[in-house]
Amino acid sequence: MEGIDSKILNRLKEKVQKELTQREIETIEYWLKELMKVYQKNHPTLAELKTDIRKYMDRMKNRLEILKTKGF
């Protein structure tokens, strides 16, 4: 990229990397919080635990599909 100063390009790369890292942190924190809710729930049976885990997985799959089809 001949027209862009290398210092500006490096600062831009750093800024983008920081923002991507921050977004990843926020995403992982959100899903961890949701998983902790499932973990902390008092499931009387294994079947109920599996049902909650399946719901959690379905939510993650749905969100992933949305990002893949309508993502940036």
Both 34 and 51 in a single domain?
Answer: no
Residues 14 and 31 in one domain: yes
Say if residue 51 is in the same domain as residue 72: yes
Specify the 3-state DSSP secondary structure of 14: helix
Domain count, the chain: 2
Whether residues 69 and 53 share a domain: the answer is yes
Is 25 found in the same domain as 7? yes
Q: Which domain holds residue 60?
A: 43-72
CA angle (21, 40, 59) in 5-degree steps: 55
What pLDDT score does 34 carry? 92
pLDDT of residue 67: 86
Same domain, 50 and 34: no
55 plus 21 within the same structural domain = no
> What number of residues does the chain have?
72
Ranges of residues in the chain whose predicted pLDDT is under 70: 1-2, 72
